[in-house]
Structure 1
Amino acid sequence: MSIIGITMGDPAGVGPEIIMKALAQEQVYEHQYVVYGAADILEYYNGMLNLGLKIVDIQETEDYVEHAVNVIDSCGLAMTEYEIGKLSAKCGDAAYRYIERSIRDAMSGKIAAVVTAPLNKEALHMGGHLYDGHTEIFATLTGTKTYAMMFYGPLKIMHVSTHCSLREACNRATKQRVLDVIRLLNQAMIQTGMEHPHLAVAGLNPHAGEHGLFGDEEIREIGPAIEEAKMEGIDVDGPIPPDSVFGKTLNGVYDAAVAMYHDQGHIAAKLQFMSQCVNCTIGLPIIRTSVDHGTAFDIAGKGIADGTNMKQAMLVAEEFMKNR
């Protein structure tokens, strides 16, 4: 049995609550979990939710205590130092410190995967860490240059670009980047047990450009990337019009799809399957999965946050581990 790390995210958000709710279902997991966060914060939610769980502070994963919520605290932030549901530089810094320690432990083999609770990008920046989000932190701290965001749920979608303007997203849809993402998606599907995945690639433009009538990126960049991937033995089709490719994938014509930019893939994935969408970063030397929602400051501390997506992120991490 391996140990998986969970980062607590921004302490002022719903991260601590959803972690406690997910860990209360200990019987559904195949592995052990360590939380990178603060024991007193988790104890607060333990009491609020009447969970009755045992919470222990440990220094290293080797100190793991059975049938308890094990916590490694890398920054010492206490609940008295911030207000639930409010932006805070201290919370932004703490969220980063939890991630930093978890990555260090994963890279040294002390944990087998990392599952992340949400952080707040504004608080992260206030705390002095100028990243766009989790994905960029993980890529930087692991020294990874080629990586991509993937939704893993009823729809499996990987993105060519994510957090940039729509205008910039068009510039990033290059042959090399599209080819890299096709390779990463194929690798991810094999890693989760699919021997010969059948992939689809969405077009960038309406009707996938309609043979150049509505844009020529499909002719210049996307199509050539698909052809090169085929020459490498990857089973991939496209470019397919964006308004039909995700429906075909959901109906089993394809096993997974490449989206060209953030909203193209996110809208398709979240429209029906929000609680089942798990965010994965593919291409890292470690396994990383995440909830696909934010810190939800508006409901933080009220005991009403839904822990379903956190549980799903934990289960997907376990699924990736099976074929690691």
Structure 2
Amino acid sequence: MTALPPLAVTIGDPAGIGPEIILKAWMAREAASLRPFFVTHGAEILEAAAQACDIDCPVIGIDGPEDARSAYRDGLPVWRRSERQYTPGKPHVSGARLAYKSLGQAIEYAFHGAASAVVTAPVSKSAIAEVDSDFIGQTELLAQSLRLPLEHSVMMLAGPTLRTVPMTVHCAIADVPALLTQDLIVERTRIVARALQTDFGITNPRIAIAGLNPHAGEDGRMGTEEIEVIAPAIARLRGEGIDASGPHPADTLFAPHKRGTYDVAIAMYHDQALVPLKALDFDQGVNVTLGLPIVRTSPDHGTAFDIAGKGIARPDAMIAAIRMAGEIAERRANG
């Protein structure tokens, strides 16, 4: 492995399963070949979570990312204590503040090159909205923090058997048709194509684009977005040399015999992309943000407050997110 800076992992909502799966990821670091990582904020919470969940993971306080690599051999490196009590399953606004602060610090470290990537543990959007009323999601906050237009920040969900991208994300279904434009589809698909090449090593990515309506509109009988918006966008992309196909009916696009025909499926809205990914790869699904100057991944699941602190949360998706962040960081460093 190239000697890159360590990865910065956020604490997430401390009342959720984030602390537990971070600890378990460190325990699996050698078997999973994970690059060194450290956590921003919450040392005392991680210590309490280790005790509550019976995880034999020492927590080592560090003064900065430069100390993480040496500490990583002996325990989980954590920058800064926060003096907040560990209350699994009982979210509180103080925990949301901590999650928000941890995310901001990780972004700063990555932006300035002290961390090679950011891996975000799950947060409660509604809880953080009490801290920042403009908060929509971690993907959007990353774009805002890096002063990028929201349309340049693209969420991709990646698992062992499927990659999907929702064209629109955290909005009401009723708002989706008006948000879909040719320019949006073209710009975001360009970002996806570039990222598959630079971050995933796919030289000529095949991109399947779903329709919005049942049966992809069935020649306008079930909606005209495919004719007026999606198909013209695909034609523009193909004219630029991007291997884009569609609009495909979403009800067949994710069938086993179809998944081998593309490298990523682009859906028109949140659940159209996330339902198949979570049905197929829930325990290993990774949320990776494309189009950013920094690397960011996250496990593709929520806070799971109902099982927090019980020691039963599976760390597979967190392990996959940390591994993917390290792989992308290395590709970018060597590119």
Residues 160, 260 of structure 1: 8 Å contact kept: yes
Structure 2 equivalent of residue 78 of structure 1: 84
Structure 2 equivalent of residue 9 of structure 1: 12
Structure 2 equivalent of residue 24 of structure 1: 27
Structure 2 equivalent of residue 102 of structure 1: 106
Residues 44, 83 of structure 2: 8 Å contact kept: no
Aligned length: 321
Amino acid at match of 2:142: F
CA distance in 2, matches of 1:188, 1:194: 9
2:268 is the counterpart of 1:264 = no
Unaligned runs of 5+ in 2: none
Residues 207, 242 of structure 1: 8 Å contact kept: yes
2:123 is the counterpart of 1:112 = no
Residues 162, 261 of structure 1: 8 Å contact kept: yes
CA distance in 2, matches of 1:16, 1:66: 16
2:138 is the counterpart of 1:134 = yes
Unaligned runs of 5+ in 1: none
CA-CA distance at 1:89 after TM superposition = 1.0
CA-CA distance at 1:268 after TM superposition = 1.2
3-state secondary structure, aligned to 2:13: coil
Across the aligned residues of Structure 1 and Structure 2, the Cα RMSD in angstroms comes to 1.6
CA-CA distance at 1:138 after TM superposition = 0.7
2:37 is the counterpart of 1:33 = yes
2:261 is the counterpart of 1:232 = no
Question: How do 1:161-310 residues align onto structure 2 when only pairs under 5 Å count?
Answer: 161-190=168-197, 191-247=199-255, 251-310=259-318
TM-score by length of 1: 0.95
3-state secondary structure, aligned to 1:10: coil
Amino acid at match of 1:11: P
CA-CA distance at 1:249 after TM superposition = 7.5
CA distance in 2, matches of 1:322, 1:227: 34
2:155 is the counterpart of 1:149 = yes
CA-CA distance at 1:256 after TM superposition = 1.0
Match for 1:59 among 51, 56, 63? 63
CA-CA distance at 1:127 after TM superposition = 2.6
For residues 38-91 of structure 1, give each alpha carbon's deviation from its aligned partner in whole angstroms, at most 9, with x where no partner exists. Answer: 111111222334443332111211122241211112x72421xx6321231111
3-state secondary structure, aligned to 1:164: coil
